[in-house]
Structure 1
Amino acid sequence: MPKKAKPARNGEEEGPVPCKQGKLEAAQAPSTLNFESPTVLFESLISPITTKTFFKEFWEQKPLLIQRDDPTVATYYQSLFRLSDLKSLCGRGLYYGRDINVCRCVGGKKKVLNKDGKVHFLQLRKDFDQKRATIQFHQPQRFKDELWRIQERLECYFGSLVGSNVYITPGGSQGLPPHYDDVEVFVLQLEGEKRWRLYRPTVPLAREYCVEAEDRIGQPVLEVTLKPGDLLYFPRGTIHQADTPPGLAHSTHLTISTYQNNSWGDFLLDTISGIVFETAKEDVELRAGVPRQLLLAETTTAETKRLSDLLRTLADRLEGTQELLSADMKKDFIMNRLPPFYIGDGAELSTPGGQLPRLDSTVRLRFQDHAILTVGPDQERSDEMREKMAYIYHSLKNRRDTHMMGNEETEAHGLRFPLSHVEALKQIWNCSVISVKDLKLPTDEEKENLVLSLWSECLIQVV
């Protein structure tokens, strides 16, 4: 998970050196993954297992082990991240805690061996060789182009943030004690071999993170040694531990994780305020005052019954609702996800597509996987009677170098329109191409202004 940055010696926090996003590593092996679409990418990642089988039998249910005896896949996995990559990356301004953790499992406990401030490769290698410590590198997709490419596609596929960590462990050593995470995890073995032991979850689909779980783990349900090219999936809540067998120089594996805070409970919390907001406009019961001194006394059976009745009213209202008002989840996802992957200087993301749109133009949506249309209360007004507005959020201007670094500030990029523009926006979102004059708006001026706004934001192009 994201780590907080350590302050520099002068008391000011230094940020990471910006990534050179346009240049692919020369040593990158030919990809064995298919990037034709997000769906096809995921299919190729878990091949030969089909997505239908995966989501029916394994997702959120039990581990999946895919062992491949394919040198091409192994070579590609090995190219994703190597121990040797750390030397050049340390020269780009990495910090202990924020970018790198150094740790070792000693007596069933996690021992953190971090220094202060910047990471220097010689010291890092010394701790690795002499103290047999594991190097945990946070969010390598900030620096490695192929991981950016993979995770950007996976974020489109899952509709959820996708983070990653690299773990490099010397032979005969273990970095972390048995623990479980609150994310769905895909393990890619990159270098050497890693022994894994998975146990039955003590908290299925865990929300909380537990550092030490060795007193409750029981017997392993899966013991396996992963080799380069192998993939292991396990659901959140699965207790696990891994070590590098003796006799090996080291082992490197990558964890790709997703679906943190992405449950039905999270979605209900996100939308319930919108349901209450809309229902209270029409239902006087929701606008009636609570009993006197309710907040000063214990809740009675009558008050609980009243609240239950109001919740049933909301449930009835929800049955006929076509569009839920999302308070934060959609916006937070778009704000914090990776920008689209590109090769070159990224001009495509910052240059409007085609000529200036006119009334007689035909347009199409660009980067559909990276833009959302949502409806919500007017965020520029704070009074109770604020009207609903249409919002477009996109990730074209997101910063790759802050992805999944929770302490970094992010901002929303997008546009705001009157609610009367929703149908016209849906036309653009749902049609492969559409004529500007066919948009469902009352005047030609409104039609032209709408497409001009989207074009200026690089969200549509004239075809």
Structure 2
Amino acid sequence: MARSKQTARRPSAAAAAAAAAAAAGEKRKTDDDHASRKQQQKKQKAAVADDRAKSGGDAKSAAAAVLRELLGGLELDAFFAQYFEKKPLHVRSNGKHKLFPRGLFSKKRVLDTIQQNELAYGKDLTICKYVKAARENFDGDGDASASRAKVARLFEQGYSCQFYQPQRYVDDLFRVNAAFEAYFGSLAGASAYLTPPAAQALAPHHDDVEVFILQTEGRKKWKLYHPITELAGEHSNDLTPDQIGAPWMELTLEEGDVLYFPRGVIHQAATDDKQFSTHVTVSVYQHSAWANFLEVALPRVVRRAFDADVAFRRGLPVGYLEYMGSQFPSDAATARAFAHTLKALVGKLADNVDEHDLQLAADEAAMDFIANRLPPVDGDAGAEAMKTSPLDDGAAVRFKDRSHVRLMMAEDEAKEPYVGVYFSSQNCRTHHMGLCTCRGGDNGSDDDGSGEESGNEGSDGDGDAGSDEDEDEDDDEAVHAAMSQVPVPPRSVAFPGDLAPPLMKLYASYPAFVSADDLAGDSDSDSDGAMGDAVRAMLVRLWSEGLLEVRKQ
């Protein structure tokens, strides 16, 4: 029975004092957490600055330094020659945490992250356990929203947690993933696996990515098996003991250790009966095989062969559908003749491989990477750079982070040449490895006559920057892409084709700084000063997008 208002007692003075003390303690804890996060951010920026300083400002060299650290100082040339796509490598930390920062991810951190963010089962994390050679998933009991208390109880019941893309919330993991992307030139995803004592989360399986495992808490026992398919291009379903054979390697990852193994290597892991284990798996180089590039390049090669060689334009045999198809025998004379002709044409395709077509295919392959990679780790350091204009006396410029910029030469519908400057410096960290719907109006800016936004189809480049209409259009594009599963294109600015030489010089000069006059002088005849004006307008546009670093000479 519910108590009436009359019988409900006012808290005693002691209880009120205790509540006030608890509230004060909670405030101190919140303040301490805030200060700790500030300190972590300060350390992260210092680490990034140190990496960049050691590498002379080259982001890829800074990324290489991070990878070398993870590999225990092993030179990357040696790693790629001896291990990459070949065999596993176990790097021991000996408990000194020399490979990556202590506390990179942990049980406490995942519970804190769940408490501080709106996360959902299935979308942000999966709760499961592996019992009697079968995987059992927790579906949320009708509530898709994850809670700290519920996940903590599930840990106590022997469930494990796979937390997707923790680099969205942990700055040091953001730095690690960004380094992998900068060095490999492909997307780097991550998952954190949290497993209570005497438990196993996943059945034996293999992945379609290069795997780097960072043991961040506790320890875990691993069994690795020889691949069924070497360098597998697709991930496997759960595999049974009779499919995987005897172990290739058995090892224990202690806190602070790193393990690498190639795609296709079958693996499973379990905890002992004493320690809770947390590890982070960084995965890279998915769909980065020669076959994947051929899927992009071959349509252009076939079209060039069609235009150049009449053999590709001749008609198929009349009535070929009467003997070609899965219902017909493949050893029939007509089927063998068909296959012989096709193989001969495939052999002739090599004569029609054009370097320009390969460059265009590489541009096409790069679009997904540019649109979806992480932004620069020090991406919020641009306010200081904006204080100096590229038009100031004695100003010199360079791309702020060239690894996040790509130039693409193309023609518009009227066959007029233009240069697209595609960039990932404003990408979204929150939705990394997913469809982002929060791009808003940060993609638009005033057209100064030297360039126009090419991220949206039909853009004429004369809209006002940051207007409500522009923001609505960008939001609509992102939402439509998310609903239709069509990826949002990367941000870009387009410039007339005659600005290609100064843009190429600006790109090639990195990390050196160059002046506007130097860039204008690299163009064609400029007797009336028009090219110099165009170059300066181009630099202002790039600067307004946050793509340029400016300093006084």
TM-score by length of 1: 0.83
Moved more, 312-321 or 118-127: 312-321
> Which residue of structure 2 aligns with residue 440 of structure 1?
523
Residues in 2 aligned to 1:307 and 1:423: alpha-carbon distance in whole angstroms: 43
Specify whether residues 413 and 321 from structure 1 end up closer, same or farther in structure 2 by C-alpha distance, changes over 3 A only: closer
Match of 2:63 among 20, 29, 38: 38
Contact 1:338 1:403 in 2 (8 A): yes
1:414 deviates by 1.1
CA distance 1:387–1:461, shift in 2 (3 Å):
same
In structure 2, the partner of 1:14 is none
Letter in 1 for 2:536: E
Q: Quote the residue 1:211 is aligned against.
A: 237
For residue 390 of structure 1, the aligned residue among 419, 424, 444 is 419
State the AA in 2 paired with 1:88: D
Would you say 1:192 and 2:236 are equivalent positions? no
- Which piece of structure 1 moves more, 31-40 or 369-378? 31-40
Match of 2:401 among 342, 360, 367: 367
Which amino acid letter does the alignment assign opposite residue 341 of structure 1? V
Aligned counterpart, 1:242: 269
Structure 1 residue 307: Cα displacement: 5.0
Amino acid at match of 2:98: V
Q: How many Å separate the matches in 1 of 2:542 and 2:336?
A: 53
Mapped partners of 2:253, 2:147: distance in 1: 30
Cα shift readout 1:290-315 (whole Å, capped 9, x = no counterpart)? 44868855566666566555555542
Return the offset for 1:80. Answer: 0.7
- In structure 2, C-alpha distance between the alignment counterparts of 1:70 and 1:428, rounded to whole Å: 46
Counterpart Cα distance in 2 of 1:78 and 1:308: 57
Shift of 1:255: 0.5
Which of 139, 142, 145 is 2:165 aligned to?
A: 139
* 1:178 matched residue in structure 2: 204
- Change beyond 3 A, Cα 1:397–1:28: closer
The CA deviation string for residues 178-223 of structure 1, in whole angstroms up to 9 with x for no partner, is 0111110001111111000000011111122223212311111111
Provide the C-alpha distance between the structure 1 equivalents of 2:269 and 2:348, rounded to a whole number of angstroms.
Answer: 50
Quote the sequence identity (%).
30
1:98-177 aligned within 5 A: 98-115=123-140, 116-130=143-157, 132-177=158-203
User: CA 1:198 to 1:350, structure 2 compared with 1: closer, same or farther past 3 Å?
Assistant: farther
2: CA distance between counterparts of 1:350 and 1:297? 71
Are the counterparts in 2 of residues 439 and 447 from structure 1 also a CA contact under 8 Å?
A: no
| Cα distance, 1:258–1:119 mapped onto 2, change above 3 Å | same
Distance of aligned partners of 1:222 and 1:94 in 2 relative to their CA distance in 1, 3 Å threshold: same
Is residue 426 from structure 1 mapped to residue 426 from structure 2 by the alignment? no
Report what 2:292 is aligned to.
266
1:316 lines up with 2:351 in the alignment: yes
Contact 1:358-1:436 at 8 Å conserved across structures: no
358, 365, 375: which one pairs with 1:339? Answer: 375
1:315-367 CA distance string (max 9 Å, x none): 23436559610363201001000000128xx2517974731438986432221
Bigger Rg, structure 1 or 2: 2
- Per-residue CA shift, 1:108-146, capped at 9, x if unaligned? 12111131311011111111102x010111000000011
For residues 41 and 354 of structure 2, the distance between their equivalents in structure 1, rounded to whole angstroms, comes to 51
Which one-letter code corresponds to 1:143 in the other structure? Y
Matched with 1:404 is 433
Superposition deviation, residue 446 in structure 1 = 3.5
CA RMSD, 1 decimal? 3.4
8 Å CA contact 2:217–2:277 kept in 1: the answer is: yes
2:77 maps to which of 35, 52, 55: 52
Q: Report how many residues are paired.
A: 433
| 1:84 maps onto 2:130 in alignment | no
1:69 corresponds in structure 2 to 94
SS in 2 for 1:163: strand
Displacement of 1:56 in angstroms is 0.6
CA 354–295 in structure 1, closer or farther in 2 if over 3 Å, else same: farther
Distance 1:88 1:191 in 2: 16
The one-letter amino acid paired with 2:111 is: K
CA distance in 1, matches of 2:35, 2:523: 39
Separation in structure 2 between the aligned mates of residue 445 and residue 284 of structure 1, nearest angstrom: 47
One-letter code of the match for 1:216?
Answer: Q
Q: Which amino acid is 2:130 matched to? A: C
Contact 1:359 1:444 in 2 (8 A): no
Which letter maps to 1:117?
A: A
**Structure 1 Cα separation of the partners of residues 500 and 339 of structure 2:** 39
Q: Which letter does structure 1 place at the counterpart of 2:113?
A: L
Q: Distance in 1 between matches of 2:266 and 2:350?
A: 37
Query: Residues of 1 paired with 2:349 and 2:323: CA distance?
Result: 24
**1:278: Cα distance to partner?**
5.8
> Is there any run of 5+ residues in structure 1 with no aligned partner, and where?
1-20
| Residue aligned with 1:197, SS | strand
In the alignment, residue 136 of structure 1 is paired with which amino acid?
A: Q
Q: Structure 1 residue 288: deviation in Å? A: 3.7
Distance 1:262 1:376 in 2: 24
Structure 1 pair 49–361 and aligned structure 2 pair: CA distance change class (3 A) = closer
Q: Which runs of 5+ in 2 are unaligned?
A: 1-33, 53-61, 325-334, 438-481, 483-487, 526-530
Separation in 2, partners of 1:359, 1:314: 55
Summarize the alignment of residues 446-461 of structure 1 with structure 2, pairs less than 5 Å apart.
446-461=534-549
Query: Is contact 1:352–1:457 with CA below 8 Å preserved after alignment?
Result: no
Amino acid at match of 2:93: R
Go from structure 1 to structure 2 and tell me whether the alpha carbon gap of 1:340 and 1:30 turns closer, same or farther (over 3 Å shift): closer
Mapped to 1, the partners of 2:65 and 2:371 lie a distance apart of: 25
